[in-house]
Amino acid sequence: MKIADIIALFEEFVPTQYQESYDNCGLQVGNTNDTIQAALLSLDITEEVLDEAIAKACNLIIAHHPLIFSGLKNLTGRNYVQRIVQKAIKYDINILAVHTNLDNMRKGVNERIARQLGLQKTQILAPTSGNLYKLQTFVPHEYSAALKDALFSVGAGSIGHYSECSFSSNGQGTYRGDEATKPFIGAVGGLREIVSEEKIELIVPAHLKNRVEKVLITNHPYEEVAFDWIALSNQNKEIGAGMIGELLEPMDEIDFLKLLKSHMKAQVVRHTALLGKKIRRVALCGGSGSFLLKNAIAAKADVFVSADFKYHQFFDAENQIVIADIGHYETEQFTVEIFDALLKKKNITFAVLLSALDTNPIKYL
C-alpha cells in the first residue's frame, strides 16, 4: 500500500476541506509514491517520536498535531521542527497530520471523549453551515431507481443517522436535438420531444459533490444530463466543533470531577466554583475549546470540559456553568485509537504501532 492510498483513506473519513483556516493537515513530509512498511501513530511529532519510528522501522508517522503550521523559510536545524524535517527526509520517513478536520467530524476527537465519559444522546455543540448542497436532476421514470441506487452508493442522500433520503416529483421534460445529437429518446433533428420524467432531489455534503456529480453523469441515460446544484445554508449536524451529551444518571459536581479525572487519566482538574447543582448535561471540546463556552452555556450544559483556559476566561462562566480544564494532551490522548481503528477497519497490509511515548510537554509536580 502506498502513501497516496492512506491519504485517500483519510480523505474519505476526514476530508481536509473541513480543517480550520489556520491549520495545515495532510502529508507534510514525504512522497505519495512511497510504499508503506509500517506506521507509527502519535498525538504529536517530536524528535523522540521520530527516533522511535526509525527504531521500529516505520516509514510513516500519522499524528494529530501538525509538525508544520506555517511555511519554512530555511532548513538549518535551528529548531526542533527543522531538525525533524531534515531527519525525516534523511531516513525516508513520511509525516501525515490529521488535525482539526478530525476535530470537526461527528465521529472524531470529541465523540471519543464523550464515549470515555459514558455520555448518551450526543450531538455536535456548534454545527457548521454552508457545506451542504441539494442536487436536483431529471430522469425517465423507468431509470430513476437505478440512478438513485448509484447516487446513494457514494453517500448522496444522507441526513444525520438516515441514509438513502430523497424526494421525487413527476413532470414533463422537453427537448429537441440538432443533427449532431444522439438522443436517448426521439429522433436526430426531429420534432420537440415531450418525456414524462421524475425529478429527484438529494442532499450532498460538500466533500462528496464532485464524486456524486461524476456518478450522476456516468449512470444517467441521457447524452446531456440536466441537473442543478443548490447551495444550502442549513446546519450540517455531522460537522462542527465540540460536542454535548448527557450522563446516564445525574451526578454530584465533585463526583463528576472525580470521574472526569479518572476516566480521562488527568493529572489535575482546574475548575470554576461549584454551583451546588447536579451534573447531567456535559459539553466538551478536545484541545483549546474556550471559544465554545458561550455555546455550552446556551445549550444549558451543566459543565464544560476542555483545555487551555486562561485565567480571565474562567470568570466568563459567570456562575452559569462549571468549567473543567483537564489539559490539552489529556483531552486528545485517545486520538491515536481513532487512527488505529480506522486503519484496521480497512484491512491495511502493513503493521500499525501506537507510540509508547508520552509527548505531553506539560509536567506536574
**Tens digits of per-residue pLDDT, 194-223?**
889 999 999 999 999 999 999 999 999 998
Topology at the third CATH level for domain 3-99+334-354: 3.40.1390
> Is 348 or 67 the better-scoring residue by pLDDT?
67
3-99+334-354 and 131-232 share one fold: no
pLDDT at position 304, please? Answer: 98
d(CA 106, CA 78): 39
Per-residue pLDDT band at 189 (split at 50, 70, 90): confident
Per-residue pLDDT band at 237 (split at 50, 70, 90): very high
- Pick from 218, 210, 19: which is nearest to 133 by CA? 210
Helix (H) / strand (E) containing 284: strand 278-288
Per-residue pLDDT band at 88 (split at 50, 70, 90): very high
Single pTM value for the model: 0.89
- In the predicted model, what is the mean pLDDT of residues 20-49? 96
Per-residue pLDDT band at 119 (split at 50, 70, 90): very high
Topology at the third CATH level for domain 109-127+239-326: 3.40.1390
> In the chain, pLDDT over 90 holds for what percent of residues?
89
d(CA 90, CA 30): 11
Q: Which three cell numbers stand for residue 95?
A: 509525516
pLDDT at position 177, please? Answer: 80
User: For the chain, what is the mean pLDDT?
Assistant: 95
- In the predicted model, what is the mean pLDDT of residues 187-195? 80
The answer, yes or no, to whether residue 56 has pLDDT greater than 90, is: yes
The answer, yes or no, to whether residue 329 has pLDDT greater than 80, is: yes
Per-residue pLDDT band at 182 (split at 50, 70, 90): confident
d(CA 53, CA 226): 52
d(CA 148, CA 150): 5
* CATH code for residues 131-232: 3.30.70.120
- In the predicted model, what is the mean pLDDT of residues 138-167? 95
Per-residue pLDDT band at 314 (split at 50, 70, 90): very high
User: For the chain, what are the domain ranges?
Assistant: 3-99+334-354, 109-127+239-326, 131-232
Per-residue pLDDT band at 242 (split at 50, 70, 90): very high
Per-residue pLDDT band at 180 (split at 50, 70, 90): confident
Axis crossing angle, helix 253-263 with helix 109-117, rounded to the nearest 10: 120
Per-residue pLDDT band at 156 (split at 50, 70, 90): very high
Per-residue pLDDT band at 70 (split at 50, 70, 90): confident
The answer, yes or no, to whether residue 3 has pLDDT greater than 90, is: yes
What is the layout of strands, in order, in the sheet containing 94-97? Answer: 26-29, 94-97, 60-63, 38-42, 351-354
pLDDT at position 102, please? Answer: 97
The answer, yes or no, to whether residue 190 has pLDDT greater than 80, is: no
Least-confidence region, from 52-66, 259-273, 276-290, 344-358: 344-358
Work out the burial of residue 171: count CB atoms within 10 Å of its CB; fewer than 13 is exposed, 13-18 middle, 19 or more buried. Answer: exposed
- In the predicted model, what is the mean pLDDT of residues 50-57? 98
- In the predicted model, what is the mean pLDDT of residues 270-283? 97
pLDDT at position 193, please? Answer: 84
Report the helix count and the strand count for the chain, using DSSP H and E. Answer: 11, 15
